[in-house]
Amino acid sequence: MQSWQDVLSERLRQQRSQQLERHLCAFETIDATHLVEPSTGQVLINFCGNDYLGLRTHPALTKAFSNNNTTFLAGAGAARLVSGNHPLHEQLEQALADFLQRDSALLFSTGYVANLAVIQALTKRGDSIIQDRLCHASLVDGARLADGRLLRYRHLDTDHCLQQLQKASGLVLLATDGVFSMDGDVAPVNKLATLANHHRGLLLVDDAHGIGVLGATGRGLLEQANLGQSDVPLLTGTFGKSMGLAGAFVAGDHELITYLRNFARGWIYSTAPPLPLVQAQLRALQLIQDEPQRRAQLHQNINHFTQLAVAANLPLLTSNTAIQPLLVGDAQKALSMQTELHKRGFYIAAIRPPTVPKGTARLRITLNAEHTEDMITTLIHALTEINHAN
Ligand SMILES: *Cc1c(COP(=O)(O)O)cnc(C)c1O
């Protein structure tokens, strides 16, 4: 019989032989768009972060953490239902509910856990979970963990979604990314809301990449699509993307949030978020409302990038959001393009399977409000050169 060590080394060997091994790089941050590689001292322009508005380095947020108000202990000390709940947690949940125009909200430690917890809490044996095939790993893993049956539909294909709805039984949870995290395109949420409504399904939209970025006032894809709480009863989001922090939330009506407080294991059995973080989260939520010029600048940068990329004939996926993937196909080729860009002073991590489907490795380029026109123009030149050379 093989030892466990041999089993694990064999799995790692296979991962390596397919050019799929993951490596960790350490970086120091200079500002919203510049990284330093400590081992070499090389300064790189970062084109693969999710800090779309440049809030990660905003002085108001760094200050929110270093506030020396002594009532804020480092940790919450327990789960919310035990003794870890503080008025500040509730203040933040109310502010989120107000901003997202929902009755209530519930804080989670991460978006990954929020999706696991919500799907597991809502679906039992005999229930159905319907998802777009390209949903984020956290929605997929939530369905794996839950006792409900998972039915997937082809990416953005509402006819196929309808067929799956017709096969569904029990409580039907229809879940989708708002903005697809590796593709940058958006879910047909108006159509999905109508379908869910006709089939008495509960629609969940994970707008991790839309909140702060889309909609006239940054309320995300649902604001852009003019959909409210009755159309999309559950909305999940994260503080880790446009809000430049970490942590997450779920928003919905009173009854749904009460249900989750009773049944969402990933919330019940987990320590409450530390108060310095909650204070910064409150500040970040205010900043996305108070500084709309960041959103406007981001959209200007997106337009600048897509115009140049189309003119240069680069194989971009179709996207109007901050996520602008360049399709490469082969994992090894994506890695060598990453290396070539690195030499030219840009950092863009290659995205390979299983994060994306086999044969669709890509450079997931992301734009940020603080990229300058010049940075974007030089990136396009570098991409054009490298794309021709490969
Ligand atoms: C990043 C992401 C998450 C996870 O959020 P974290 O707060 O980073 O754990 C969930 N869903 C989508 C679509 C994401 O892109």
Provide the pLDDT for residue 64. 87
Q: What was the pLDDT predicted at 93?
A: 98
What integer pLDDT is reported at residue 52 of this predicted model? 98
How is residue 121 written in tokens? 């809490």
For residue 310, pLDDT over 80 is answered with yes
pLDDT given for residue 86 in this prediction: 94
CA 347 to ligand 1 center in whole angstroms:
21
Ligand 1 pocket, mutate which of 108, 133, 136, 281 (most atoms under 8 A from CB): 136
Q: For the whole model, what pTM was predicted? A: 0.96
Q: How confident is the model at residue 68 (pLDDT cuts 50, 70, 90)?
A: low
pLDDT reading at 11 higher than 80: yes
Residue 238 Cα to ligand 1 middle (Å): 6
Number of the ligand 1 atom closest to the C-alpha atom of 180: 13
- pLDDT exceeds 90 at position 80: yes
List residues near ligand 1 (CB under 6 A). Answer: 110-112, 115, 136, 138, 177, 181, 206, 208-209, 238, 240, 248
Q: Whose CA is nearest to atom 6 of ligand 1?
A: 111
Question: What percent of the chain is predicted at pLDDT more than 70?
Answer: 98
pLDDT one-digit tens code per residue, 184-212: 999 999 999 999 999 999 999 999 999 99
Q: Which numbered atom of ligand 1 lies nearest the CA of 50?
A: 1
pLDDT confidence tier of residue 284, bands split at 50, 70 and 90: very high
The yes-or-no verdict on residue 37 having pLDDT over 70 is yes
Mean of pLDDT over the chain: 95
* pLDDT score of 71: 67
- Residue located nearest, by CA, to atom 7 of ligand 1: 111
User: Relative to the CA of 238, which ligand 1 atom is closest?
Assistant: 7
**Residue 65: pLDDT over 90:** no
Distance 351 CA to ligand 1 centre (A): 16
Using the mean position of ligand 1's atoms as its centre, give its distance from the Cα of residue 245 in Å.
12
Q: Measured in angstroms, how far is the CA atom of residue 175 from the centroid of ligand 1? A: 14
Distance 7 CA to ligand 1 centre (A): 31
Give residue 177 CA to ligand 1 midpoint distance, Å: 10
